[in-house]
Amino acid sequence: MGLRSLLTDAWSWLNYKPVMAGTHDGRPHRALAPELQATWLPDDAVRRLAAYKLLAAYDSNQAGELTALAGNESAAERREFGEPSVFVDTALAHMLGKNQQIIVPGAEHASDDEPSPEAIAAAEVQQRLRDWAEAELLPLRMQAAERKAVLLGDGIYLLAWDPSKNRVRLKTYDPGFYFPVLEDDADPGDFPSRVHLAWEIPEDPKRGIKAKLRRITYELGSIVPPTRSTTRDGHAWREPVEDGAGHPLLASGDTYVPETGSLERTYPWAPDGPSTITCYLTDAEWLLEDLRHGQSLDELPLDKATFRTRADGEVLHNLDLQIDFLPVVHISNSIADGEHFGQSSLAKVMQVLDELAETDTDSAKASATTGAPIIGLAGARAEVDRVTGRPRPLAIQPGTVFQLSDGGRMDVLDTSGQLAELRARTEEVRDRAAINARLPAVSLGTVDPSDVPSGYALQLSLGPLDSLVDSMRLARAHKYVLLLKLVQRLHQAGRAEGWPVGETMAARLVFGPHTPTDRTAILDEVVKGVAANVLSLETGVRMLQDAGYPIEDAREEVRRIQARVALPKVALQTTPTESKAGDRQQAA
């Protein structure tokens, strides 16, 4: 069933799919996502999760299978050869670049002859962040989260302090588990004050496990007196910590402000600015049979919840994390334009991908008739089945001989012309998909290098890819600045060694070049520019570093070059008298 009215939202580019707009209100078809009919699921998340599932089906070559489940039986024969996955992987590889590096501004001056304290501190933070990234396998986790972001439009990072490892742990989540509580009038770029990570745990009769819903909630709220873990009616719970007179006690470092009636706390990253806000963590499970219709994810009954317990015995029910931020970072694939969620890199080419799959399907059918053509015989005597008395079907195979009567003939249906047209159509549709996705053929590896007339022509052909990568990196730049800031603050909150009290430094993640570079041409350009005094040695070394030469520290490399250049000059500064004296000494 099609749309009865025009529905425009962040996922309306999928409305052309009957399974996406299966009802009059635009809700997805039940065959697409039966689990999306769960009563706890927020109404505004149904279409988003359905879009995720549809995109995941395209990525795994299951779009035809999903369409067949919705009632289109002919879709089961659909040919899918992996173009969506190739497009996603190509966009991801170019967006990430060949490498990623953590940079703290000012750290490059730490190797000066007289570095400032700020430069030394920046270099120390930069090295600690790089050590953390190596220990946490940041590039691998970025691959996992960013592929979700490129394919689905969104990616999720979760940070948590691990006392046993004495460092911050980084975890990635599927964006289908991400449910932020957004205010109606909030700016799309604002960070929510409450975030849920929720998913269903399927029933397992063999282990006696009933179907459950797990919800992890991070929420910002006012600081309250501390609580401690306990049990109530056999269930884990938290209760206020009180003195002998029944008055609540204050946590170490908290201060009561009589004028406002609130509690204040000074955090390590803001020693001069007390805060009244903290972050609370709740991790609980509910049996699906205990949830009534109309109880959404944000309003689940706490009296039916089973709260989980941390490894150190702390019950995760409004647990004060001693931080004033949510340790959740949402990565958007596109620049926010009135929407909190991003857009998939496949959004603009979904219909082209469908056309490509249909063309591949027709081509496969045509190739079958070309390889095993339809043959018509006239004047042939067919063998009669003695049991049924009917002529047996003619089987054509190598070495088969047919006896034809006078005037008999054999006609072969030639479909090779249609097959050639379909193959040309396939290339045409594939090229259009690449153009609309801003992935030139040269980036997909489908162009013979000998067909490129010049390097300038190659650079021009990469123009759409440059704009795509720039927009994707721009959408992520401030999110990775935030991620590295939260890493620093969580280390400070955990009192990790080497992370002093003080304001966190601005660190950023720099992506490597996304296109191949002519290193020989750049080296020649640097040599000529430095020799002609139109480029400084420092600029030339940085150009070589950006081109991929193994230079770890540009300033140290400049120092080494200058030291080697100075050695011959020192040797030439010997006086003639010293030279003659040396000659007499050698003769003696």
Q: Determine the Cα–Cα distance for residues 588 and 586; give it in Å rounded to an integer.
A: 5
433, 440, 435, 335: which is closest to 94 by C-alpha?
Answer: 440
Is the dihedral angle over the CA atoms 265, 268, 270, 273 positive or is it negative?
positive
In the chain, how many H helices and how many E strands?
A: 14, 17
Count Cα atoms within 13 angstroms, Cβ side, for 313: 4
Tell me how far apart the alpha carbons of residues 505 and 123 are, in angstroms, rounded to a whole number: 11
Residue 33: the pLDDT is 60
Task: Tell me: pLDDT of 4 over 70.
Answer: no
Write phi, then psi, for 286 (nearest 5 degrees): -130, 140
More confidently predicted of 586 and 479:
479
Buried b (16+ CB within 10 A) or exposed e, 268-293: bbbeeeeeebbbbbbbbebeeeebee
Cα–Cα distance for residue pair 146/33, rounded to 1 Å? 24
pLDDT (0 to 100) of residue 397: 74
Q: Which residue has the higher pLDDT, 560 or 175?
A: 175
pLDDT band at 567 (very low <50, low <70, confident <90, very high): low
Adjacent-strand bridge partners of 198: 215
Percent of the chain scoring above 70 in pLDDT: 89
Rounded CA-CA distance 110/2 in Å is 64
Number of other residues whose CB lies within 10 A of the CB of residue 317: 22
pLDDT at 223: 94
Q: Look at 30-34, 235-239, 358-362, 518-522 and tell me which has the smallest mean pLDDT.
A: 30-34
Report residue 225's pLDDT band, with 50, 70 and 90 as the boundaries. very high
Q: What is the pLDDT of residues 124-148, one digit of tens each?
A: 999 999 999 999 999 999 999 999 9
Reply yes or no on whether the pLDDT at 70 is more than 50: yes
- What mean pLDDT comes out for the span 209-238? 90
Q: What is the pTM of this model?
A: 0.84
Q: What is the pLDDT of residue 473?
A: 94
Highest average pLDDT, of 325-329, 360-364, 440-444, comes from: 325-329
Rounded mean pLDDT, 86-114: 89
Residue 442: HSE in the Cβ half-sphere, 13 Å Cα cutoff: 19
Q: Report the pLDDT value the prediction gives residue 22, as an integer from 0 to 100.
A: 59
- pLDDT class for 24, splitting at 50, 70, 90? very low
Concatenate the DSSP letters of all residues of 389-447 into one string.
Answer: -SBPPP---TT----EEEEEEEEE---HHHHHHHHHHHHHHHHHHHHHTT--HHHHT-S
Share of the chain above pLDDT 90, in %: 38
Q: Interhelix angle for 519-531 vs 537-546, to 10°?
A: 180
Could you tell me the CA-to-CA distances from 8 to 37, 493, 523 in Å, in that order? 21, 44, 52
List Cα–Cα distances, 106 to 67, 132, 137, 478, 487, in angstroms: 55, 20, 25, 19, 19
Q: Write the CB contacts of 524 (distance below 8 Å, at least 6 apart in sequence).
A: none
What is the overall mean pLDDT for the chain? 84
pLDDT, tens only, 183-206: 877 676 678 999 999 999 998 999
User: What backbone phi and psi angles, to 5 degrees, belong to 329?
Assistant: -120, 120
| Helix boundaries (H) for 437-509 | 441-444, 455-461, 463-493
Which amino acid, residue 224? V
494 versus 18: the higher-pLDDT residue is 494
Whole-angstrom distance, CA of residue 361 vs CA of residue 355: 10
